[in-house]
Amino acid sequence: MIYALVTGGSRGIGRAVCVELAARGYPVIINYASNEAAALETERIIEGNGGTAERLPFDVADGAAVDQALEDWAEKHPGDYIGVLVNNAGIRRDAMMIFMQDEQWSHVLDISLNGFFYVTRRVLKMMLMKRNGRIVNMVSLSGLKGLPGQTNYSAAKAAVIGATKALAQEVAPRKVTVNAIAPGFIATDMTKDLDEESLKKTIPAGRFGKPEEVAALASFLVSDAAAYITGEVISINGGLYS
């Protein structure tokens, strides 16, 4: 059986992606670092809709923890493999660079960039062996145009964009696609501290996006209909930056 793994799947865009992929028929693995209550709620929503889900806690920034968690999962699921991976885990630690602390820089890169590497490297082997796989990386408007106060976040997401394009070329002969989604302002916990009323005036569509809209795009990219799309970065930002 082919499973879908969503990192940072307990809340926001990650939760919406989990719910959407479960509705598409995938058994979903909900990864989270520490918020078990939120992960349980995501699992409850999926199962309430008739889908299948399980929780798999690990810190994506800890390579050893990633390897151990996914090895344990594989041992419990003989004959199954993760054929869909959505690298969604990420954090913001905003600050002007002149005031940015080492931890603010390293923690953001550890989760978004190193997390992408640790998790993708681990699941890629079976995708290549099975000659089938879909990888979707959540990047950001910030990684495309840069945003002041987010030098760390912009750097991390821009790096994942570059990695997406390179990896897509490596694995395309084995029928594995690798794409990125670059959301603009989406109404989630990550953006709740922003001045939404002011920012909406800068968005041609006049509103923040919904997590479900991002999830719908992810769902398309993992479908058979998207088999010839790879190495792409698709923006979903209401026209803010295209």
Q: Give me the active site residues, please.
A: 153
Taking CA atoms, 174 is separated from 19, 171, 230, in Å, by 28, 6, 12
Residue 190 carries which DSSP code? G
- Name the token pair of 140: 């950001």
Distance CA 240, CA 202 (A): 7
Nearest to 143 by CA among 186, 184, 199, 93: 184
The type of residue at 242 is S
Q: In what order do the strands lie in the sheet with 176-183?
A: 53-57, 28-32, 2-6, 81-87, 133-138, 176-183, 233-236
Q: Do residues 153 and 107 touch, judged by C-beta distance below 8 A?
A: no
Contacts of 66 (CB under 8 A, 6+ apart): 58, 59, 60, 115, 118, 119, 122
